[in-house]
Structure 1
Amino acid sequence: MKDNSNIEVVIIGHTDSTGPEEYNQVLSEKRAQSVVNYLTDNGVKKDRLEYVGKGETEPAYPNDTKENRSKNRRVNFKVER
């Protein structure tokens, strides 16, 4: 992002389905926010970043095993421009 100042990114936090849905929503938002904090602490301008939490609504894998649940606890980056 430092090399290409035109890029804007949405940081998307996810969780597995363990625990209450409301808790997972907040956790996914905090997960995404922590990535935004890291990037801004390392020189990326905050106005180039947006974040959103998806909670447990968009699993990448079925939440049927410990391994799959760990894969669903993730952050994705979506380049907007």
Structure 2
Amino acid sequence: MVKIGYNEALSLKRANSVADAWAEGAHVPRSNLVTRGLGKKYPIASNDTAAGRAENRRVTVVISTP
């Protein structure tokens, strides 16, 4: 069993919230959406400032086809 940290759990919760809303609003089966919580692994801004940390709290959507 893999134990995930606080940031990863929070990141996954954020991603799941977006996926749940998208599935409901777009009438897409939730089982068709895959989510991952990456925590602090891939920042796009510096975590040294409040503005940078706010920018790093995000969800990225990737659409792929089979």
Structure 1-normalised TM-score? Answer: 0.69
In the TM superposition, what are the counterparts of 1:22-61 in structure 2 within 5 Å? 22-42=5-25, 43-61=27-45
Deviation for aligned residue 1:49: 1.1
Identity rate of aligned residues, in percent? Answer: 36
Query: What is the number of residues matched between the two proteins?
Result: 61
Q: How does 1:65-76 map to 2 (within 5 A)?
A: 65-76=49-60
Q: Letter of the aligned partner of 2:34 in structure 1?
A: E
Consecutive aligned runs of 4 or more in structure 1 exceeding 3 Å deviation: none
Give unmatched runs, 5+ long, in structure 1.
1-20
- Structure number having the greater helix percentage: 2
Instruction: Output the amino acid matched with 1:55.
Output: G
Larger strand percent:
1
Give the residue type in structure 1 aligned to 2:14: R
Cα RMSD of the aligned pairs, angstroms, is 1.4
Read off the aligned partner of 2:48 and give its amino acid letter: D
What is the alpha-carbon distance in structure 2 between the residues aligned to residue 40 and residue 78 of structure 1?
A: 14
User: Where do 5+ consecutive residues of structure 2 fail to align?
Assistant: none
